Chain A
């Protein structure tokens, strides 16, 4: 699954650690999601989409 988290983070001047704290996961988890190595659960995807005020499908694209 592809995602735009890295771009969205950069637009908001957020670090991986900032995002991890906001959605209450580890920085490694954010890093693994950004690299496409790990697909987040639905609750975590919702948390991320709410934080960025976007729809889930605007952030995550199923390949």
Chain B
């Protein structure tokens, strides 16, 4: 466990001593600010109109009109940002041979992969922490449902975690970081949009399966504040699958 945490801590500090980490952090903060402002002004306008229209007033809800769409947009940002975050995790180590320190130290491949993954999640937590500012603004101005807010944060981390696990696997496949980025983006896109394929199909087992694989299906309820076991299982399964595949890949590096 100590080794896992040491590797994770090293990864987080690597993000913070690397321009890429700061570029992603800045981009993330800016995007979140823009989306937040748009959502809030939209809500403000709708509220002003609702004063004239009593029928619309009972539709006004800060959870449905600001929190959920905000996190929905940020999931897309997570999909775009995670390959850039994950690409260096293993590929960089292989390129500059620092992987040999890990491979010749008394740590298992599982510990290496968990450490790398936790490090990436740790940086995602730094990103997430910057958004607490906006959550604070919402709580100051209105009364968002804390349950909904919490569920959205959980969803955000599960989505980010899944994408980062996919990116970590991509990073273990090649020494070339750009290739890892492209691969990771491909994985993410498949996970994200495969549901659209499903919606074109006729009812049947294939449709059910494809729709189950699609991430969109599983964040819908969570964004409304409903945490379902089946959705948690979905995310944990995906993260577990990619981590397992990465461990196999790192193990294979010892047998080149």
Do the two chains bind?
Answer: no
